[in-house]
Amino acid sequence: MSDLEHTGPSRPTPSRQVVEACQRGDMSAFHELFDIYGGRVHSIARAFSGDESVAKDITQRDFLKLFTCLAQFRRDADFATWLYRIVVNECLDERRKRKRFIFLERLMDVPHPSAKASPEKQMLRMQITDEVQAAIAKIQPKLRLPILLRYVEGLSYEEIAAALGCSKGTVASRLNRGHKLLAEKLAHLRHTLEEMQ
């Protein structure tokens, strides 16, 4: 038998030796773990998100997290259960981020009231716009710049990374932190924004 232990016809799991080798930093053993679980993690992420590119991102983040957290794995636990807990947490984090992203997009693109709109709706739009601008102005510059480049200028992650001289991963991280801060600061506008739709 190879380094896999079979618990059933369709569920190979890594042997203790493979896990221990990964914990020692053996990259070939880590690649073996990816071969065993990569497809399943991706399938869960794709089913959860409904988006192939998001599923790839979640899978990549899962295995990066697995690589950095593997030392914490207790060998008396079930490895698959431990890994799937990481997958589930990453999927839930992604859902929270997407909710913040959608909310922020709606805030940055407040619908213009029609010519027949009441003065109250016109005032609401001005109020939301002012509050969004004030909230953005209060976050630290390294988070503010990616927000402005993404939502005001409409740049892609690659373009923002080039403009700021950093990696796409750094851009994603800063946007995520910016989303979180702004979602907290502007949460009180959710109901108002819904009334504008």
Structural domains for the chain:
4-95 (1.10.1740.10), 109-196 (1.10.10.10)
pLDDT tens for 41-76 read 888 888 777 778 888 888 988 888 888 888 888 776
CA distance 160 to 158: 5
The tokens for 138 are 């209060």
Contacts of 45 (CB under 8 A, 6+ apart): 54, 55, 56, 58, 59, 62, 87, 90, 91, 94
pLDDT at 93: 81
**Confidence at residue 194, expressed as pLDDT on a 0 to 100 scale:** 64
Q: Report pLDDT digits (tens) over 61-115.
A: 888 888 888 888 877 667 877 888 888 888 878 777 776 666 666 666 655 555 5
107-111, 116-120, 139-143, range with greatest mean pLDDT: 139-143
Predicted confidence (pLDDT) at residue 2 exceeds the cutoff of 60: no
Q: What is the mean pLDDT of residues 175-194?
A: 80
> What is the pLDDT confidence band of residue 170, given thresholds at 50, 70 and 90?
very high
Q: In the prediction, which pLDDT does 156 show?
A: 85
% of the chain beyond a pLDDT of 90: 4
Q: Average pLDDT of 125-137?
A: 79
Bridging pattern class, strands 12-14 and 4-6: antiparallel
Token pair, residue 101, equals 């992203």
For the chain, strand residue ranges (E) read 4-6, 12-14
Owner of token pair 């896999």: 4
pLDDT digits (tens, 9 = 90+) for 11-27: 455 667 888 888 888 88
Instruction: Pick the range with the lowest mean pLDDT from 116-120, 127-131, 174-178.
Output: 116-120
Residue appearing with tokens 């589930």: 88
**Token pair belonging to 82:** 């431990």
- Does residue 39 have a pLDDT over 60? yes
The rounded percent of the chain whose pLDDT value lies above 70 is 77
Q: What is the pLDDT of residue 3?
A: 42
Instruction: Check whether 4 has a pLDDT greater than 50.
Output: no
Q: Which pLDDT value is given to residue 193? A: 65
Q: What is the pTM of this model?
A: 0.47
